[in-house]
Amino acid sequence: MPSEVFMLFSSSKGNCCLVKNGSEAFLIDAGVSARRIEHALCAVGTDPASLRGVFLTHEHSDHIAGINQLCKRYGLPVFAPPGCMEPLAALCPDAIPFLRPFAPGTVVNLERSRVYAVATPHDAAGSVGFRIDLSGELLGYFTDIGYLTTSILKALSGCHRVVIESNHDVGMLRSGPYPEPLKRRILGEYGHLSNATCASLLPHLPVYGTKRILLAHLSEQNNTPEIAYEESASRLRDALTNGTVTLSVAAPSSPTEL
């Protein structure tokens, strides 16, 4: 059975991705209510009770909002950076028996899939992205990153599918209503990846085998899907024209297949 990837929710208000490798299914982040996640899973033909676990990028609310209830209902193991264990225990007490430290540089082996954790620069107690081996097909998943580290670039190399953050348009952010400290945080090395920085990476991916790219975690205040897409598409023009790669933008609150 082929692998499938669905971004169920993707924005500054909540993030959740479903990865299916044949009969094996798991989540990356769970940043909206458990009920909304359950409905989204059913919409793409997946029984929530079939999930094998949740892999957390970090402990911010737009990535963990559904964890407590998912653990209560399904007893799912939650794999997260070691630094997140204490804040997760405080924020999601019902998840405490199910928390599993997952350090950068290590791997979790499921029955069919291998999930590698890669350290990412973000202002969290712990923060990772993932390189996932889906029985030979590779998926790269990186959001909430202040800049592109050598480790991230290495992890993305050779990934057939890539979910990558394209969070904000710098001009919109600088001229927008956010307070100055928040603007500096987002623009800083432990904030979020801009459209321009994301786009600068993309031409290198098809050279190493990437076929599908999904732009994710767009700010609803400081970005639009059209602006994010056009900036990346302008750097991928040749690859898009000759059909060697596809580019799409994750919808904020409905499933988007990669």
162-180 pLDDT tens trace? 999 999 999 999 999 999 9
* 159 and 205 Cβ atoms separated by less than 8 Å: yes
In which region does residue 243 sit, left (phi positive, over 0), alpha (psi from -120 to 50) or beta (all else)? left
pLDDT of residue 5: 97
Residue with tokens 């190493």: 208
pLDDT, average across residues 57-76: 96
The pair of three-digit structure tokens given for residue 6, joined into one six-digit string: 């669905």
* 159 and 132 Cβ atoms separated by less than 8 Å: no
Binning pLDDT at 50, 70 and 90, where does residue 238 land? confident
C-alpha closest to that of 202 among 230, 178, 235: 235
Q: What is the pLDDT of residues 69-83, one digit of tens each?
A: 999 999 999 999 999
pLDDT of residue 252: 96
pLDDT, average across residues 153-166: 97
The maximal CA–CA distance of the chain, rounded, in angstroms, is: 51
Binning pLDDT at 50, 70 and 90, where does residue 239 land? confident
The pair of three-digit structure tokens given for residue 54, joined into one six-digit string: 């949740």
* 44 and 17 Cβ atoms separated by less than 8 Å: no
Hey, which residues does 162 pair with through a beta bridge? 140, 213
Binning pLDDT at 50, 70 and 90, where does residue 37 land? very high
* 127 and 144 Cβ atoms separated by less than 8 Å: yes
Does pLDDT of 1 surpass 80?
no
pLDDT, average across residues 148-168: 97
pLDDT of residue 245: 94
The pTM of the whole model exceeds 0.75: yes
pLDDT of residue 24: 96
Type of residue numbered 118 = V
What is the C-alpha to C-alpha distance for residues 69 and 54, in angstroms, rounded to an integer? 12
C-alpha closest to that of 3 among 118, 133, 143: 133
* 61 and 50 Cβ atoms separated by less than 8 Å: no
pLDDT of residue 202: 96
